Amino acid sequence: MFKQRMRTGGAGGILTCSLILHLMLSIACTSHFANGETRIYREQAPEKEYINTYRIEETGSGFFVSIISYLGEKLYIRKELWLDQSYATVKWRYENLIENIDISAIRDGNIIKLTGINRGQNVDHIYEIDSLPWKQQFPLDLERFVNSEQESIKFWAIGTNGPADMKIAQFIASKKERSPIRINGAETETVRVRVSFAGVLSLIWHGDAWHRLSDGRFLLFDSTSAPGYPPTKVELISERL
């Protein structure tokens, strides 16, 4: 079930020594998994570049996702998510080692309870929502939606920086055109998914995710800038199946 196949990309299609180091460290940190998959994404923002390693493991009732982010050689962010079979978030932990953030949130019906430390301050929030799914790690957790018959989906997510810090908002994701894009030196058929705030707030911010048509995997995400939010590009550079 665990096939090992490596696709690499980036400059000249070769992983740098730094990327290899991040991959080795991330595998070491998640070595208790017998099976699963590992992906590496490069995230680019103005004057900053992050390397994000995702480890995804099937749990029986859903999926466990571990994400480790490096800013240069410095470990920056750790995330853990427990997803159900539809990739909706059930539980989430977020740790930012530079900004002194360590929070956890769990959903119980139409309530999300968040506790922990946010930039050195104790936080204890209860968010009252509706029956819409909570998708804290989009566009990763939109992959099941991409493979479904639905043309659009609304969901909730909690902000972790800028004006939306620790605030919950409703988003909408809509399927757009199919087209080939070039990833890791190869042309791949994709479907574009537009993600934005729901309602009039869609005028403030939106992003586009390109998902591989064959399996729904998110390959590329490109977002616009907004007050408090720089433009961001996230690209898959390696995957081990």
Q: What is the pLDDT of residue 82?
A: 98
User: Do 188 and 181 contact (CB within 8 A), yes or no?
Assistant: yes
CATH architecture for segment(s) 6-240:
Beta Barrel (2.40)
H-helix or E-strand spanning residue 23: helix 17-29
User: Do 178 and 103 contact (CB within 8 A), yes or no?
Assistant: no
Q: Which of 141, 84, 83, 91 is nearest to 112 (CA)?
A: 91
- Burial class of residue 199 (count of CB atoms within 10 Å of its CB; 0-12, 13-18, 19+): exposed
Residue ranges of the domains in the chain? 6-240
Q: What is the pLDDT of residue 228?
A: 66
Q: What is the pLDDT of residue 227?
A: 66
Q: What is the pLDDT of residue 184?
A: 86
Ordered per-residue pLDDT tens for the chain, 241 residues: 323 333 334 434 334 444 444 444 444 444 334 479 999 999 999 889 999 999 999 998 999 999 999 999 999 999 999 999 999 999 999 999 999 999 999 999 999 999 999 999 999 999 999 999 999 999 999 999 999 999 999 999 999 988 889 999 999 999 999 999 999 889 999 999 999 999 888 888 899 999 999 999 999 999 987 766 788 999 999 998 7
